[in-house]
Amino acid sequence: MDFSSRWFVNDDGTNNGDLKHLKTRSIVPVDLNAFLFWNAKIIAEFYALGGNLTKAAEFEARATQIANGIHACLWHEDLGTWLDYDLINGRRRNYFVPTNLSPLWTKAFNTANEAVITDKVLRYIDSQKIDSYPGGVPNTLANTGEQWDYPNVWAPMQYMLIAGLDGLRDQRAKDLARSWATRWVHSNYIAYNETHAMFEKYNCEELGGHGGGGEYEVQIGFGWSNGVIIEFLDKYGDVLSAPGSSSHGLKPFSAFFVATVALFGTILMRIFG
């Protein structure tokens, strides 16, 4: 994630401003720490597979240390979410970004408290009204004109949110994940059907709308958009529902099923053809 109000720290400590207010080195990001936790877990697993239990224990300890730090510094019980931390002003950055919920994906939390965390996170999602956008979950709620801000929607962020929710042992979270995946597949298909292109970013306000803003024209292609749509079709293809349908599964020859399979095939042809 590059230019975004996520990295703006104005003189008043808010995220109002422009590129002159970028303070990336003064913000402790939730996702970076969640990824460091996961990396430590993976390294520990590889050491264990290789029989080096001493190094495996060392990296397990590092993972635990990082997870404890994430909980102590970035988790907020009152809000039900993790938040970036502003080192300049010594306070939390209380702004929605999909990366706030990245610890769900990497499991960088105490899984013994999963039920409590799930309840709080679902209430947080409801409070931010991020389920209300037809084109997907926006990257922030600040409309600055930067490409990683509202109303742009990015495939990797949708994947991280959906995979994180689906990984929870709560049917409400899993149902929300499936709903968001269905919305994303449908939006991608509409855009592709109208333009014969997959885009790097989309528009949360419009089902099938592509994104804009930033320092260049919206790009087509596009690696991570292709990867995410293939992943969702693979995981949810047997339970996706066409918008407006009362069915929770696709009949073999339904129009939506044919459309998604056609899109899948076209993507593969563009990648490997």
The pLDDT profile of the chain, 273 residues, written as one tens digit per residue, is 889 999 999 999 999 999 999 999 999 999 999 999 999 999 999 999 999 999 999 999 999 999 999 999 999 999 999 999 999 999 999 999 999 999 999 999 999 999 999 999 999 999 999 999 999 999 999 999 999 999 999 999 999 999 999 999 999 999 999 999 999 999 998 998 898 889 999 999 999 999 888 777 778 878 899 999 989 988 988 887 665 555 444 443 345 544 655 666 665 556 555
The pLDDT assigned to 254 comes to 42
The pLDDT assigned to 255 comes to 52
**Other C-beta atoms lying within 10 Å of the C-beta of residue 27:** 19
Q: N- to C-terminal Cα distance for the chain?
A: 30
The pLDDT assigned to 260 comes to 58
Is 1-128 in CATH node 1.50.10.10?
yes
Q: How far is the C-alpha of 203 from the C-alpha of 196, rounded, in Å?
A: 17
CB 103 within 8 A of CB 70: yes
Spell out where the chain has E strands.
27-28, 75-76, 81-82, 85-86, 91-92, 152-154, 201-203
The pLDDT assigned to 238 comes to 82
> Looking at residue 71, what DSSP letter applies?
H
Q: Which two tokens stand for residue 155?
A: 């495939």
The pLDDT assigned to 219 comes to 83
Q: How far is the C-alpha of 203 from the C-alpha of 133, rounded, in Å?
A: 9
200 is catalytic: yes
Instruction: For 68, list phi and psi in degrees, rounded to 5.
Output: -65, -40
| Set 149, 200, 217, 231: catalytic member | 200
Domain boundaries in the chain? 1-128, 151-273
pTM of the prediction?
Answer: 0.88
The pLDDT assigned to 253 comes to 33
The pLDDT assigned to 179 comes to 94
| Set 2, 126, 234, 238: catalytic member | 2
